[in-house]
Structure 1
Amino acid sequence: MAQPDHEVVVIGAGPGGIAAGVRLREAGIDDFAILERADEVGGSWRDNTYPGIGVDIPSIAYQYSFARNPDWTRVFARGAEVKAYHQDVADRFGLGKHLRFHTEVMREEWDEPGHLWRLHTADGPVLTARFVINAVGAFINPKDDPGIPGLAGFTGKIQRPTSWDHGYRHTGKRVAVIGTGASSVQITPSIAGEVAKLVVFQRTPVWCLPKPDFEIPPAARAALRLPGLMSLLHGIMLLGVELLLRAAVYAPLPIAARAMRLMDAGAKRAYRWYLRRVVRDEKVRRALLPGYGPLGKRPTLSNTFLRTFNRPNTELVTTPIERFTETGLRTADGARHEFDMIVLATGYELFSDPESYRPGAVVGRDGFDLGEFYAANRLQAYESVSVPKLPNRWMLVGPYSWTGTGWHALVEITSRHAVRAITEARRRGATSAEVRQSAHDTYHARVRKRGANIAYYFREQNRGLRTYYVNSHGDMPYIRPSTVLEARWRSRHFDLDDYEYKTGVH
């Protein structure tokens, strides 16, 4: 049997790839490579450098459990600081020698006789690996096409959150921001005071809540160095999330449905009151008021986004955009809006979208094509990480994986699962470890059953809402219907015999 180039290949050097690398080293596995298409680690925090970028959960919760950082300078850290944190973790845990930059994997192909994966890269070489951990994150690629005709004909400047051109000076320019999601909520107030005119085009209002952000004083940072204190604070946060998730997932549907209706109604009343306090214009307030519940789309946090619409140079437009023109945008009412710069805050290809899994990109045993399977059978994976007929392969951000916490908690859970399975295969002297169809099907049936309350919230209570939590199949594979502690426990205790182990002929 041919020996692969590496025992393990990790695809992606964002938060997931770093977590996988650390777990592999902890398990005593040193023959691995982390392939990264860019030239640095950090994933989204490397790519996104747009004005105002920062985390939207407290910094204490946005870090690895094995690499606590007592030196965050703000309650909600800014982007450059988060990027530096990931680089520091990679350096501290000796991942540098395992990193291979400018290496983009275009196709993963299982070699059954050799019990290895052939990884076809963009620049030609084919790398082989016994085991593959796909650590591509939740936000795979920005959407090149915003779904509006005429983009190529616009002669002004196009800015995207993932490739912000800091050399372009927008000061004194006429600027449009398309979208009101998380990146727009940060970009809009950051540039409003610098531009001559700012128009925000909104399709669906976003819930934007106050952000308790401030600098962490040196004395507080010193206190966070006390042994166990940061872990305790993080644990308290996780306990709150745990209690909410337990109630949301396990409550009988009639009780959960009533609670969700009361929650949404109460939240809307409170938000209407909040808007009256922060937005002066009544017409703008009405336009900014969501007609759906606060969990229907990703809630955002900002102390300045809503207030930006009080500025004389800022306008909110809710009329649908018909097309790009040479000098700006034309809306469905025939109005023409001229701009020097347009920001496309229009979203990403997500791990929860079946369209993100291209046919031919991942081909396993007996010609099994992951993209074709997901298109025809909906997204599914055992413990969100492995799929039958894809031996020796795990996804760190897979179907039904997000637990309502920070991404670091998620990728620690899934990377622990992957490394535990790899370790067991090595212990048995096996060259192939593939999840059994029966184990996969039993798990997926449980996921569908436990997701009943979540499905009710989106399909019934907030029916018709356009949200990335609901994919083109009408499913919610973004969200894992379990608690954080259950997911963490499962990663440590899943039945090792749920995998079938085989040894190739040498």
Structure 2
Amino acid sequence: MADYHTLIVGAGFSGIGTAVNLDKAGLRDYLIVEAGDGVGGTWFWNRYPGVAVDIPSFSYQFSFEQSPAWSRTYAPGRELRAYAEHCVDKYRLRSRIRFDTEVSGAMFDADENLWRVELNTGEVITARFLVNASGVLTIPKLPDIDGVDSFSGVTMHTARWDHTQDLTGKRVAIIGTGATAVQVIPEIAPIVQQLTVFQRTPIWCFPKFDVPLPAAARWAMRVPGGRTLHRLLSQAYVEFTFPLAAQYFTINPFAKRADAAGRAYLRREVRDPVLRDKLTPRYAVGCKRPGFHNTYLSTFNRDNVALVTEPIEKITGSAVATADGSTYEADVLILATGFKVMDVDAMTFDITGPGGQTLSAFWEEHRMQAYEGVSIPGFPNYFTVMGPYGYVGSSYFALIEAQTHHLVRCIAQADRRAAHRVEVRQEANDRYFAEMMRKRHRQIFWQDSCRNANSYYFDRNGDVPLRPASTPEAYWRSRSFDLDDYRFTG
């Protein structure tokens, strides 16, 4: 007999959403294991200066738990952490979370039809069903640069920010100009002596309507009609700016005008034409996730900020050396190099199915794929929230609600049928994967304009495991997929 009916890995919003939906379905025998000592996932680990959500707060929350406490249109990281704590306490999840606990690996026991999950403590616990809710914006991606481990000064990744370090008056080098750097650079530039930014690929950046919420808006969030209106407007904006633009690029005439808007913003913000040219992407908007910030681009006008576009050759002693022979001395080295997102080892821990095959080996051999982004054939009783071809590119909360609804439908159906084993049928998975391949031509990623994007959306096979669909379609499918696409046995 299993120790738990369901084991959830991760106490970020994916894990919280899974737990709440299990409770609603009456499936209360579960345990959440969390590597950190607090909840919030991405917002627990990422505490760098300026950290904030990059879509409106009204969309970045559960539809069933809309907060009236946002202070701004785009919530800062501390408010997202507080929201996670609120959800955990309101839905009484804390007693079922085991903190400071990492999953080392999981193996399916075909005789008992359950998962044996090994923890970093050496303990093995068993569960009938295993849900991977560990997310993808928590594992830092370190740059492959010679000597990066030997820098003589202070080194820190943005996802592991050391707040004991005072950057005031320091010479700081930052590697990377992605979404994280867009938030960090304007925050630290005014206090450091010199900030040297090493850019490999420029990012499209757009203004962000980030303002304190007036009293009337905060009052409206406390009444059902006001909350609904805020959310509808926010959802429409989010859907228009990414899913409809990127997933339907070939048939969306408005998507092709975004480049002109990005260049116009660059002209307004950056005075030096040479610098402006270096900051101008050579790929279309949407090939990689754009940044949204009101002072990122103008920060490069400062005398103490330098942009370096020459490739980094190595890091030696207290300096960063580039391919043209230049060296840049620094006291602090900041790695704003993002996360492992579409990497196999980022999407899963060590998982071994009943035939001895690991999930990572399955994906290496067959390309990354999952039925509706949730289930993988050959891996029974296993579900993932952030699986391949599940995310459409809108709010992660939209993804969480759709995917957790899908997996809870499966688990609840298994209980109704007294089945101990649930596995997606191979033909159902093949049908879904073929659909994803058939529809992806309309995505922006497959246009010639994306060849130079160097986007983390692409995996090592050259695929982009994003669902070519809209958020409403993903919601609908999570509630209407045929349960006969699964085999219930045992």
TM-score, shorter chain, exceeding 0.5 = yes
Q: Kindly indicate whether the alpha-carbon contact (under 8 Å) linking 2:313 and 2:322 is maintained by their aligned counterparts in 1.
A: yes
Match of 1:164 in 2: 161
Mapping for residues 326-337 of structure 1, pairs under 5 Å: 326-337=317-328
Match of 2:197 in 1: 200
1:268 correspondence with 2:259: yes
State the distance in 2 between where 1:286 and 1:108 align.
49
SS of the equivalent of 1:284 reads helix
Match of 2:91 in 1: 93
State the distance in 1 between where 2:299 and 2:344 align.
36
State the distance in 1 between where 2:113 and 2:137 align.
30
Identify which of 410, 424, 442 aligns with 2:399. Answer: 410
State the distance in 2 between where 1:162 and 1:357 align.
17
Identify which of 470, 473, 490 aligns with 1:483. Answer: 470
Identify which of 429, 438, 459 aligns with 1:440. Answer: 429
Q: Kindly indicate whether the alpha-carbon contact (under 8 Å) linking 2:373 and 2:391 is maintained by their aligned counterparts in 1.
A: no
State the distance in 2 between where 1:165 and 1:369 align.
36
State the distance in 1 between where 2:224 and 2:289 align.
34
State the distance in 1 between where 2:458 and 2:104 align.
27
Report the AA paired with residue 407 of structure 2: A
State the distance in 2 between where 1:221 and 1:247 align.
29
Report the AA paired with residue 24 of structure 1: L
State the distance in 1 between where 2:470 and 2:44 align.
30
Report the AA paired with residue 353 of structure 1: D
Match of 2:339 in 1: 348
Indicate how the Cα distance of structure 1 residues 421 and 457 shifts in structure 2: closer, same or farther if over 3 A, else same.
same
Q: Kindly indicate whether the alpha-carbon contact (under 8 Å) linking 1:355 and 1:375 is maintained by their aligned counterparts in 2.
A: no
Q: Kindly indicate whether the alpha-carbon contact (under 8 Å) linking 1:249 and 1:482 is maintained by their aligned counterparts in 2.
A: no
Q: Please state how far the C-alpha of 1:258 moved relative to its aligned partner.
A: 7.5
State the distance in 1 between where 2:228 and 2:390 align.
23
TM-score, reference length from structure 1: 0.93
State the distance in 2 between where 1:335 and 1:244 align.
40
State the distance in 1 between where 2:310 and 2:242 align.
37
State the distance in 1 between where 2:247 and 2:64 align.
30
Match of 1:462 in 2: 450
Q: Kindly indicate whether the alpha-carbon contact (under 8 Å) linking 1:7 and 1:130 is maintained by their aligned counterparts in 2.
A: yes
Q: Please state how far the C-alpha of 1:273 moved relative to its aligned partner.
A: 2.7
Indicate how the Cα distance of structure 1 residues 334 and 167 shifts in structure 2: closer, same or farther if over 3 A, else same.
same
Indicate how the Cα distance of structure 1 residues 244 and 185 shifts in structure 2: closer, same or farther if over 3 A, else same.
closer
Q: Please state how far the C-alpha of 1:459 moved relative to its aligned partner.
A: 4.9
RMSD of equivalent CA atoms? 1.8
Identity %: 43
Identify which of 348, 358, 364 aligns with 2:353. Answer: 364
Match of 1:471 in 2: 459
Q: Please state how far the C-alpha of 1:232 moved relative to its aligned partner.
A: 2.9
SS of the equivalent of 2:58 reads helix
Match of 2:294 in 1: 303
Indicate how the Cα distance of structure 1 residues 241 and 221 shifts in structure 2: closer, same or farther if over 3 A, else same.
closer
User: Greater shift after overlay, 222-231 or 394-403?
Assistant: 222-231
SS of the equivalent of 1:61 reads coil
Match of 1:421 in 2: 410
Q: Please state how far the C-alpha of 1:495 moved relative to its aligned partner.
A: 0.8
Identify which of 176, 191, 213 aligns with 2:210. Answer: 213
- Give 5+ residue unaligned stretches, structure 1: none
1:283 correspondence with 2:280: no
Identify which of 326, 330, 339 aligns with 1:339. Answer: 330
Q: Please state how far the C-alpha of 1:244 moved relative to its aligned partner.
A: 7.4
Give the total of aligned pairs: 490
Q: Kindly indicate whether the alpha-carbon contact (under 8 Å) linking 2:445 and 2:464 is maintained by their aligned counterparts in 1.
A: no
Per-residue CA distance 1:427-482 (angstroms, 9 max, x = gap): 0011111111111111111111111212x6435332243101111111010x2111
SS of the equivalent of 2:117 reads strand
Q: Kindly indicate whether the alpha-carbon contact (under 8 Å) linking 1:36 and 1:102 is maintained by their aligned counterparts in 2.
A: yes
SS of the equivalent of 1:213 reads coil
Q: Please state how far the C-alpha of 1:229 moved relative to its aligned partner.
A: 2.2
Q: Please state how far the C-alpha of 1:403 moved relative to its aligned partner.
A: 1.8
1:395 correspondence with 2:387: no
State the distance in 1 between where 2:370 and 2:321 align.
43
Indicate how the Cα distance of structure 1 residues 240 and 157 shifts in structure 2: closer, same or farther if over 3 A, else same.
closer
Indicate how the Cα distance of structure 1 residues 47 and 247 shifts in structure 2: closer, same or farther if over 3 A, else same.
closer
Q: Kindly indicate whether the alpha-carbon contact (under 8 Å) linking 2:45 and 2:138 is maintained by their aligned counterparts in 1.
A: no
Report the AA paired with residue 267 of structure 2: R
State the distance in 1 between where 2:240 and 2:365 align.
36
Identify which of 169, 174, 177 aligns with 2:171. Answer: 174
Q: Please state how far the C-alpha of 1:272 moved relative to its aligned partner.
A: 2.6
